[in-house]
Structure 1
Amino acid sequence: MRQRQTILGVETPGPGLTEITQEIAEWIADTGITEGLLTVLCRHTSASLMINENAAPAVRRDIVHWLDRIAPESAAYEHDDEGPDDMPAHLKAALTGVNLSIPVLGGKPLLGTWQGVLLVEHRARPHRREIALHLLGE
Structure 2
Amino acid sequence: MTTEKRLARSAPSSVQATTIASSLLTVQTPGRGFTDLTSEAAKFIADVLARDGALTLFIRHTSASLTIQENADPSVLVDLATALSRLAPENAGWTHDTEGPDDMPAHVKTMLTGTSLHVPVLNGRLALGTWQAIYLIEHRRRPHRREVVLQFVGSNQ
The CA deviation at 1:75 is: 5.7
Cα distance in structure 2, aligned partners of 1:63 and 1:11: 21
> Residue 102 of structure 1: which of 111, 119, 126 is its match?
119
Secondary structure at 1:74's aligned position in 2?
A: coil
Task: Determine the structure 1 residue equivalent to 2:149.
Answer: 132
Percent identity of the aligned residues? Answer: 53
Number of corresponding residues: 138
CA deviation after TM superposition for structure 1 residue 128, in Å = 1.1
Structure whose alpha-carbon radius of gyration is higher: 2
- Where do 1:24-103 residues align within 5 Å? 24-74=41-91, 76-103=93-120
Q: Distance in 2 between matches of 1:5 and 1:95?
A: 26
Q: TM-score, normalised by structure 1?
A: 0.98
Residues 14 and 125 in structure 1, CA contact (< 8 A), matched pair in contact too? yes
Question: What is the CA–CA distance in structure 2 between the aligned matches of 1:75 and 1:31, rounded to whole Å?
Answer: 45
Question: What TM-score, normalized by structure 2, do the two folds share?
Answer: 0.86
- What CA distance in whole angstroms lies between the structure 2 residues aligned with 1:74 and 1:112? 37
How far does residue 131 in structure 1 lie from its aligned partner after superposition? 0.4
Counterpart CA distance in 2 for 1:28 and 1:46 is: 27
SS at match of 2:120: strand
- Structure 2 stretches lacking a partner, 5+ long: 1-17
| 1:88-135 deviation line (CA, Å, top 9, x unaligned) | 000000000010111001211110000000100000101111000110
Q: Which amino acid aligns with 2:119?
A: I
Deviation at 1:6, TM superposition (A): 0.5
Q: Unaligned stretches of 5+ in structure 1? A: none
Q: Which runs of 4+ in 1 moved over 2 A?
A: none
